[in-house]
Amino acid sequence: MSSACEEVSFMVKAYILIKAAVGHEENVLREVLNLSVTEEAHKVFGPYDIVAEVRGRDMETLVEIITEKVRRIEGIVDTQSILVIDAEIDMSSTGLGS
């Protein structure tokens, strides 16, 4: 049986910045939230309309999800993907901290 730390170490996380066509923001947000890899997604102000946090078991999985699922959602005009290379983990929330 693997520990929570081992499981996390094999996960790849990315943020996807999504620009939606005018009037499609709600539908795009709903579709992104329905993806099994989406941890969170929020409508935001700025050059992009939605920011989504996604996780996959490896880089190949993330690339496939972004290119084959996210970018094909009707109403998406543009995306920018940001890969997380290092993350701090709040050990107190895992039950592993002192």
Instruction: Give the domain ranges of the chain.
Output: 8-82
- 77 Cβ neighbours under 8 A, 6+ residues apart: 19, 20, 21
Could you tell me the pTM of the whole model?
0.76
Contact 17, 80 (CB under 8 A): yes
Does the pLDDT at position 9 exceed 50?
no
User: Half-sphere exposure of residue 29, counting CA atoms within 13 Å on the CB side?
Assistant: 14
Does the pLDDT at position 85 exceed 80?
yes
CA–CA separation, 6 and 34 (whole Å): 26
Name the pLDDT band for 86 (thresholds 50, 70, 90): confident
More reliable by pLDDT, 63 or 87 = 63
**Domain 8-82 in this protein, CATH class:** alpha beta
Does the pLDDT at position 16 exceed 60?
yes
Q: Beta strand 50-56 with 12-20: parallel, antiparallel or unpaired?
A: antiparallel
Residue 7's pLDDT is: 45
More reliable by pLDDT, 27 or 2 = 27
